[in-house]
């Protein structure tokens, strides 16, 4: 059979040759280079067997730690913990290398082995190793000593280690959330300040519920909370030490003070002060009690939030008509509007990473949670609905928590969502919950 | 009242010039002939490999890949009208991404036999990469109608966007066409995926169809990509790259651990590199054409988000 080529075939042949010599296989440095571009961004399959009990009494805590880690990693959306029922090998000694073949067989790409041991002095020793199943390498390993009642905290710290080693990002599991717990009927809601671990466990109430509380915010030390309370007379900004329970009014101002937030160094509190029908931003040094005015406009300036470097702050103002987000130097000066979409923008909060500002957006009958860059570009809406409000960033800036109220006789509850808009998860709380604020990492 | 003659002249001239300009310029501007567009699609080797992938659950007796939809035959009528024996014509090779073909000339034909005698499906993989081609039937039909000199293929490429093939082609006599075409040199080779086939094909051991003739680089790429679980890099655009030097044995397994090129600068780059390393290890052995062993026994896969 003779072979004759049409020009089209020649062209397509030349195209193939170009493909061959061009991108897929290039000659460089003597070796062919083959580009690989199409992988799946998929949750990493990880096996987390129960931690080995160092003494017979430690079996329960070993199971508990593995469950907390599994729950944390699963909720992050970046990991796919494998069901323990599928495990072939039972880890009994974490000092020997696991049989990687049996973990490969269940498609695990990472494996966590650990041991909990009660020490003679009553403390609990926690050890773990993180293995790469494909290469058989130990990726990380640590040991910790703690009081036995803090075993959950240890599990969160280990979760952070695993998360950081496998994603390249800081974790956020060893952190707390302060929020407003709501109980009772809609018209007579009792609102209390409550504190919990980020996964919804270890709930503690910080106020009794006699007075209405709003907008709690963590200090960078994680030991103090500033919030607004309707006591006798005008609403005031308070400071509360969560360990000692001590509280004090921040400053002594003639009118209402509200919407407080700590500066990144924890030395100052920035807030709004009411002046007639307007409100302006003030910052107060907590030691010297010196107060400085930052804005002076015939408008309502509120919800200030510092950039993590403390050099700038974002806030909400209706000076242009509708509430919009503005950015200004932390020392005062001209403010620049950054939100220009339809609707109004409120409750801006600067990411601890500095790369985004999260906000509540209201428009066309919907409340949405979104993020935008500090220059106002790259706006993206993460969730929309009847009522979503009050975003707060996880310590690593990758996850937002907010509250959602479905309306009717129901009440609000807390949700988390990745800043990509994926992986929305409800956060378990004892009752209705609103106004969450995420703490920095505890350690 | 006395009127300045120069003013009148000036006004008149202005009106004249502007009026002329309005008419001529505007009408000229609308006289641009619409350019005829040439439909061109580019598919890469690995896309082709995906198109022609076989399925492990397929039947052995069915050598063709699953092809549920085929692009409509492209510049058929115009181009073909000028075909002669000298320059065999192959229809446009690229399946345009049209959701609904106007007509499906192929779906009533039995799968393996080709309408044309010399176009028996070849059983062996072709070394040369080919794109799925639409049916030759419209050509054949046109050939039957007229045997003029063909235009050089260049002109063919310029042919107008294809009018839908005429429905009457369904009635033409295949045997006659075959006889007609028999006088000609073979113009094309059987390519998988060119005909509709609703049955899964078994393909080769690695799930590739019989006639997948992608290069070994694309073969390696498609195999390792199935094992690669990229770490989530956030919503910011990052351009990570992880290159390795790997040595493969003849059976496609790794001769040694892949050697990463360079040390990752950030934690994310390290994680990215590790995910690529896991993929290379997990996906072995690689099924690559033995003929090119000298090329693929030592090469550099580069995992990257940069699309060049």
Q: What is the CATH number of the domain that holds A12?
A: 3.40.50.10070
Q: Residue A4: its chain B contacts at CB < 8 A?
A: 88, 185-187
Contact A316, A297 (CB under 8 A): no
In terms of domains, do A154 and A182 share one? no
Name the pairing type of β-strands A224-230 and A212-218. Answer: antiparallel
Which residues lie below 8 Å from residue A252, measured CB to CB, with a gap of 6+?
Answer: none
- Among residues A167, A185, A204, the one where a domain terminates is A167
Of the candidates A159, A173, A152, A197, the residue with the CA atom closest to the CA atom of residue A46? A159
Q: How many domains does chain A have?
A: 2
Confidence at residue A16, expressed as pLDDT on a 0 to 100 scale: 44
- Any A CB within 8 A of B284 CB: no
In a domain, A443, yes or no: no
* Cα A355 to Cα A372: distance, rounded to the nearest angstrom: 9
Q: Residue B230: its chain A contacts at CB < 8 A?
A: 39-42
Shortest Cα distance, chain B CAs vs residue A338, angstroms: 19
Confidence at residue A85, expressed as pLDDT on a 0 to 100 scale: 92
- Any B CB within 8 A of A96 CB: no
In terms of domains, do A186 and A129 share one? no
SS3 (DSSP) at B303:
strand
In terms of domains, do A113 and A187 share one? no
Interface probe with B: pick from A168, A370, A421, most Cβ of B within 10 Å: A168
The DSSP output letter for B214 is: -
Phi, psi of A296 (to 5 degrees): -145, 85
Task: Compute the residue count for chain B.
Answer: 308
Of residues A19, A32, A132, nearest to B278 (C-beta): A132
Name the pairing type of β-strands A257-262 and B259-260. Answer: unpaired
In a domain, A2, yes or no: no
Q: Is A135 within 8 Å of B42 when comparing Cβ atoms? A: no
pLDDT in tens, B220-264: 888 888 888 888 776 666 788 889 999 999 898 999 889 998 888
Contact A400, A426 (CB under 8 A): no
Which residues lie below 8 Å from residue A184, measured CB to CB, with a gap of 6+?
Answer: A190
Q: Is the full-model pTM beyond 0.80?
A: no
Residue with more model confidence, B127 or B19: B19
In terms of domains, do A157 and A182 share one? no
Confidence at residue A370, expressed as pLDDT on a 0 to 100 scale: 94
Domain hosting residue A330, numbered range: 176-438
Which residue(s) pair with A230 in the sheet?
Answer: A212, A235
Of the candidates A298, A286, A297, the residue with the CA atom closest to the CA atom of residue A328? A297
Q: Is B278 within 8 Å of A109 when comparing Cβ atoms? A: yes
pLDDT in tens, B8-32: 999 999 999 998 887 766 544 444 4
Interface probe with B: pick from A4, A9, A36, A133, most Cβ of B within 10 Å: A36
Confidence at residue A75, expressed as pLDDT on a 0 to 100 scale: 93
Query: What's the CATH code of the domain at A421?
Result: 2.120.10.30
In a domain, A25, yes or no: yes
* Cα A165 to Cα A414: distance, rounded to the nearest angstrom: 28
Of residues B152, B230, B300, nearest to A34 (C-beta): B300
**Contacts with B, A 350-379, CB within 8 Å:** 355
**Contacts with A, B 209-238, CB within 8 Å:** 215-218, 220-221, 224-225, 228-236
In terms of domains, do A74 and A199 share one? no
In a domain, A1, yes or no: no
Contact B224, A36 (CB under 8 A): yes
- Among residues A117, A135, A167, the one where a domain terminates is A167
Shortest Cα distance, chain A CAs vs residue B245, angstroms: 8
In terms of domains, do A137 and A195 share one? no
In terms of domains, do A185 and A126 share one? no
Q: Is A37 within 8 Å of B267 when comparing Cβ atoms? A: no
In terms of domains, do A279 and A151 share one? no
Q: Is A32 within 8 Å of B295 when comparing Cβ atoms? A: yes
Does B211 score more than 60 pLDDT? no
Q: What is the DSSP string of B166-191?
A: PGGGGGS-HHHHHHHHHTSPP-----
- Among residues A122, A150, A167, the one where a domain terminates is A167
Contact B91, B226 (CB under 8 A): no
**Contacts with A, B 237-266, CB within 8 Å:** 243, 245, 257, 266
The DSSP output letter for B290 is: G
Q: Residue B228: its chain A contacts at CB < 8 A?
A: 36, 39-40
In terms of domains, do A141 and A219 share one? no
Q: Would you give per-residue pLDDT tens digits along chain A (443 residues)? A: 444 545 555 454 444 444 444 343 444 445 678 888 877 788 899 999 999 998 888 889 999 999 999 999 999 989 999 999 999 989 888 888 899 999 999 989 999 999 999 999 989 999 999 999 998 999 999 999 999 999 999 999 999 999 999 998 899 999 999 999 998 887 888 899 999 999 999 999 998 888 888 899 999 998 999 999 887 777 888 999 988 989 888 877 888 888 999 999 999 999 999 888 889 999 999 989 899 999 998 999 999 999 999 999 999 999 988 999 999 999 988 999 999 988 999 999 999 999 999 999 998 889 999 999 999 999 999 999 999 999 999 999 999 999 999 887 788 999 999 998 889 999 999 999 999 999 999 98
In terms of domains, do A113 and A18 share one? yes
* C-alpha torsion A387→A390→A394→A399, nearest 10: 30
* Cα B161 to Cα B158: distance, rounded to the nearest angstrom: 9
In terms of domains, do A127 and A240 share one? no
The mean per-residue pLDDT over the stretch B114-124 comes to 43
Confidence at residue B231, expressed as pLDDT on a 0 to 100 scale: 83
């Amino acid at each position: 059979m003779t072979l004759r080529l049409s020009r089209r075939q020649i062209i397509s042949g030349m195209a193939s040759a170009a493909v061959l010599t061009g991108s897929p296989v290039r000659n460089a440095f003597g070796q062919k280079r083959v580009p690989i571009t199409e992988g799946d961004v998929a949750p990493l399959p990880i096996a987390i067997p129960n931690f080995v009990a160092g003494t017979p009494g430690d079996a329960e805590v070993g199971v508990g730690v593995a469950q907390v880690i599994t729950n944390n990693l699963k909720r992050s959306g970046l990991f796919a913990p494998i069901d323990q029922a599928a495990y072939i090998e039972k880890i009994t000694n974490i000092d020997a290398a696991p049989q990687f073949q049996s973990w490969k067989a269940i498609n695990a790409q990472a494996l966590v082995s650990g041991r909990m041991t009660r020490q003679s002095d009553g403390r609990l020793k926690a050890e773990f190793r993180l293995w790469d199943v494909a290469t058989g390498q130990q990726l990380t390993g640590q040991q910790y000593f703690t009081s036995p009642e803090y075993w959950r905290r240890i599990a969160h710290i280990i979760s952070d280690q695993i998360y950081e080693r496998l994603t390249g990002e800081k974790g956020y599991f060893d952190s707390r959330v302060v929020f407003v717990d709501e109980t009772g009927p809609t018209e007579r809601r009792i609102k209390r300040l409550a504190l919990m671990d980020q996964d919804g466990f270890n709930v503690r109430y910080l106020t009794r519920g006699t007075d209405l509380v709003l907008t709690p915010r963590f200090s960078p030390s994680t030991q103090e909370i500033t919030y607004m309370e309707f006591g006798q007379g005008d609403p005031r900004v308070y400071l509360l030490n969560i360990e000692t329970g001590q509280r004090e009014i921040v400053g002594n101002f003639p009118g209402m003070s509200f919407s407080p937030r700590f500066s990144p160094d924890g030395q100052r509190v920035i807030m709004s002060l009411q002046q007639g029908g307007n409100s302006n931003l003030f910052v107060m040094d907590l030691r010297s009690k010196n107060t400085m005015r930052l804005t002076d406009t015939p408008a309502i300036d509120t919800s200030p939030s510092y950039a993590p470097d403390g050099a700038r702050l974002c806030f909400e103002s209706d000076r242009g008509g509708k509430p919009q987000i503005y950015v200004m130097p932390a020392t005062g000066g001209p403010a620049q509007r950054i939100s220009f979409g339809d609707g109004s923008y409120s409750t801006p909060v600067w990411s601890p990473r500095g790369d985004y500002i999260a906000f509540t957006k209201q428009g066309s009958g919907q409340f949405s949670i979104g993020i935008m860059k500090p220059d106002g570009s790259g706006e993206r809406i993460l969730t929309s609905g009847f009522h979503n409000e009050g975003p707060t960033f996880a310590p690593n800036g990758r996850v937002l928590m907010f509250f959602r109220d479905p309306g009717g006789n129901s009440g609000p509850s807390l949700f988390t969502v990745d800043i990509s808009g994926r992986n929305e998860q409800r956060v378990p709380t004892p009752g209705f919950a609103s106004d969450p604020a995420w703490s920095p990492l505890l350690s | 009242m006395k009127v300045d003659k120069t003013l009148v002249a000036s006004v008149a001239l202005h009106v004249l010039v502007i009026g002329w300009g309005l008419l001529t310029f505007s009408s000229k501007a609308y006289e641009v002939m619409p350019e005829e567009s040439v439909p061109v699609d580019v598919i890469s080797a690995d896309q082709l490999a995906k198109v022609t992938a076989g399925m492990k659950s397929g039947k052995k007796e069915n050598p063709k890949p699953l092809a549920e939809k085929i692009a409509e035959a492209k510049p058929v009528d115009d181009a073909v009208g000028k075909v002669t024996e000298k320059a065999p014509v192959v229809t446009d090779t690229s399946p345009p991404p049209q959701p609904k073909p106007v007509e499906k000339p192929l779906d009533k034909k039995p799968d393996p036999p080709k309408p044309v005698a010399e176009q028996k499906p070849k059983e062996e993989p072709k070394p040369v990469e080919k794109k799925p081609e639409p049916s030759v039937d419209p050509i054949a039909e046109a050939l039957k109608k007229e045997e003029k000199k063909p235009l050089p293929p260049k002109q063919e490429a310029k042919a107008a966007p294809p009018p839908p093939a005429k429905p009457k082609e369904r009635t033409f006599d295949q045997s006659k066409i075959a006889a007609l075409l028999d006088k000609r040199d073979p113009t094309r080779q059987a390519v998988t995926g060119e005909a509709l086939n609703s049955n899964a094909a078994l393909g080769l051991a690695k799930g590739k169809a019989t006639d997948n003739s992608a290069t070994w680089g694309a073969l390696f790429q498609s195999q390792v990509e199935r094992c690669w679980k990229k770490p989530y890099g956030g919503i910011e655009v990052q351009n990570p790259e992880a290159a390795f030097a790997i040595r493969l044995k003849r059976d496609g397994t790794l001769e040694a651990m892949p050697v990463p090129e360079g040390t990752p600068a950030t934690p994310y780059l390290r994680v990215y590199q590790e995910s690529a390393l896991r993929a290379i290890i997990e996906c072995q052995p690689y099924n690559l054409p033995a003929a090119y062993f000298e090329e693929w026994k030592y090469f550099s896969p580069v995992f990257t988000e940069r699309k060049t």
